[in-house]
Chain A
Amino acid sequence: MTSPSIIIVDDDPPLRLLTSRALQEHGYTVRPASSAPEMWAAFDGGPVDLVLLDIMLPGTNGIDLCRQIRRKSDVPIIFISARGSEADRIVGLELGADDYLAKPFSTRELIARIRAVLRRVGVERQQGDLRESEACFDGWSVSFPRRELRSPGGAVVDLTGAEFDLLGSFLSHPQRVIARERLIELSRTRLGDSSDRSIDVLVSRLRRKLSTANKPAPITTVRGIGYMFNAEVSRA
């Protein structure tokens, strides 16, 4: 397997250089671009596995650029932004970015996010899944772009990144027993988060959040093997 190639779009030359160097040190092929035209030129240079896109570019703004890329390609996009507000994150993710990274970030965090996105997209392609946006079960609804869970009553229910990924893994394998090891592998797409908690703790927390006064959470423990999500999942 050849090293994945990444386009970096950032108007700050030193930062672009530093990011490229960090990525190259971790074995990625990097094509830097300082503006939208340069980015399109870089696209013509060969297959692209991922785009690192700074939201605040001179000329075109990153959000428009993201929309333009989505019209042409399914390539994974990670937004980089100096704004870093929750509202920006949601806008970026809703526009079809796969992840959102706030400045400043460490090399470790950058690499972890890139790996996670590449792995997630890889898994999705393998399973022939299209990019999913909504899933519902027992009245609960999950928005994947916003990474948001809503209760049957319509309220936003906070989940940590690791908990959301765990829920995502359950939702893609409903009514099937999933071994603990497989669950760890599936859910470990966000290394940057506090995923060093044992999977059992994560499951128990998720269970607590999904249980209501009149209905327990639809997650059952299968002794000695793993867990099962026993609710019907409908996708949109």
Chain B
Amino acid sequence: MRLLLRRSSGLVGRIFAILLITVGIEFAVGTLVYERASHSSLQEDEARRLAEHLVISRKLVAERPWRERETMARLLTTDRYEVRWTPNLPSPPPLAPQLGRMRAQILAWEPSLRDSNMRLRLTSPGRHARVTGALQLPDQSWVHFRMEESPGGWALAIGRVGLALVPAIALIIVAGLLIRRTLNPLRHLARATERVGHGEQIELVEAGTVEVRNLVRAFNEMQRRIHRLITDRTETLAAVGHDLRTPIARLQLRADGVKDEALREALLSDTAEMAGMIDSLLAYLGGEKDPEPPVPTDIAVMAATIVDEATDRGARVSYAGPAHLEMKVRPIAVRRAIHNLVENAVNYGGCADVRLSEGPDIVTIAVDDEGPGIAEHQLEEVLRPFSRLDSSRRRNTRGLGLGLAIVARAVEREQGTLTLSNHSAGGFRAEISLPKHAA
């Protein structure tokens, strides 16, 4: 039962298990009580019939002369009772204690047997227990008898139990279905809860029992609050980002007018860095604010174009893969993702080898570099927004540490996966796998 509970740890399973135990116990106890009652009445019945037979047998055998007694005993033998008389039969063993009750019942029914010194024994050859016994006649000789157990007693009991089991099982099935139905809204709730924070908002229908209805209403309101909170934050950050661009534009135009060349270059580099930070922040927030729809896009050309542009900037970048590969993606987000991976590879790994390959169900874009890679325990960390690794990777770091977080988001939105790994021979690989038939 413990195993069953653990395996079906859902609410439906739990309630069902409780129901199963209750109905099971009720059934077992009920059956036991009923069986006990019917069994004892059966025994009484039997004792009564035996008593009547014995009284008659005793009388008839005792009336006959000795030589006719054997024949009379044979005549008195029926399918159920065997009666035997022989002049020199030995006296039977004393009464078996477990049959005391039966003896009392017999004597209660036929008090005339009291002076017959009746003895009962239980013999059990094989499975069937038999009651055997003896009576003393007034002339001190013994009449032996044996009672054949009525066959099929147990089979009868099993049939009865089975019959009683049918409504119990039917009850359990009906109850199980009803429980499932009652808890259905909870299952929807669980599914909706899993989706919270992954973009879209699911308004659940208030249905089911009062408690569940309240829970669903509370969930909907909580979801709305969370959504509003996120939207407010996102919009605030985005507005700050947009507004900062105007002063940066002023600063850049002012810097253009600075005569001192070294100072001008330093100022322009600062404004470029600020602009870059805002770009990546807005890109990170952007997917959330107004998601672009997926459109058919040639992602092979997209990857090759990103490689070409990086080459033009003087980076060591290469592309290997098909010349064309059309699939449905969100082009701005995916372009940005590939771009970020190439930039990272160039900045931290000195070069970028972009490889595009097509499998039966997925398209893989792998970007390799020859850099020091990332320590295994930090692979998770770099995916978090605003995370930046120190020391060796710090040298060329610019921006807010949103690069890989933007990639991770874009890939998640395409229902793809982003895998980061270190090569055994040195170097780092970032791999995007996109399903071909994503929504």
Contacts and interface: CB of A to CB of B under 8 A. Distances in A.
A and B pair up: yes
Contacts of B44: none
Nearest to A101: B249
B298 A156 contact: yes
A106 B264 CA distance: 12
B202 to A, nearest CB: 25
B294 to A, nearest CB: 11
B150 interface: no
A34 to B, nearest CB: 14
Interface string A195-234: 0110000000100110111000000000000000000000
A156 B249 contact: no
B326 A104 contact: no
A86 B256 contact: no
Given A208-B323, A212-B324, A160 B248 contact: no
Contacts of A196: 312
A29 interface: no
* Interface residue SS majority, chain A: loop
Interface in A135-160: 151, 153-160
A103 interface: yes
A15 to B, nearest CB: 5
B254 A18 contact: yes
A183 interface: no
B84 to A, nearest CB: 104
Given A82-B242, A87-B290, A209-B301, A156 B295 contact: yes
Interface string A1-30: 000000000001011001101100000000
Contacts of A87: 290, 292, 332
For chain B, the bracket of interface size reads 35 or more
A211 B300 CA distance: 13
A105 B324 contact: no
B256 A84 contact: no
Contacts, number: 96
Contact of B326 (A108, A153, A158): A153
Contacts of B290: 87
B246 to A, nearest CB: 5
Contacts of B257: 21
Report, nearest first, the 10 A-B pairs whose CB atoms are least far apart.
A104-B249, A155-B326, A155-B296, A82-B245, A18-B253, A103-B245, A107-B256, A158-B305, A104-B248, A103-B249
Contacts of A208: 304, 323
Contacts of B102: none
A160 B308 contact: yes
Nearest to A11: B246
Contact of B298 (A157, A194, A213): A157
Contact of B268 (A18, A21, A102, A106): A106
A13 B250 CA distance: 10
Given A18-B253, A104-B249, A105-B249, 16 more contacts: A21-B257, A84-B245, A84-B279, A84-B282, A87-B290, A87-B332, A107-B253, A155-B326, A155-B327, A157-B298, A158-B298, A160-B308, A160-B309, A194-B313, A208-B323, A209-B304
Contacts of B295: 155-156
Given A22-B256, A156-B331, A151 B298 contact: yes
B206 to A, nearest CB: 36
Given A87-B290, A208-B304, A212-B324, A105 B252 contact: yes
A45 B279 CA distance: 38
10 contacts: A15-B249, A15-B253, A82-B242, A104-B271, A106-B252, A106-B268, A107-B253, A155-B295, A194-B312, A208-B304
Interface string B290-328: 101001111001101100110011000000000110110
B275 interface: yes
Interface in B87-134: none
Contacts of B251: 104
A104 B275 contact: yes
A103 B246 contact: yes
Contacts of B297: 155-156
A158 B253 contact: no
B286 interface: yes
B335 interface: yes
Contact of A14 (B250, B279, B323): B250
Nearest to A151: B298
A82 B246 CA distance: 7
Interface string A86-124: 110000000000000011111110000000000000000
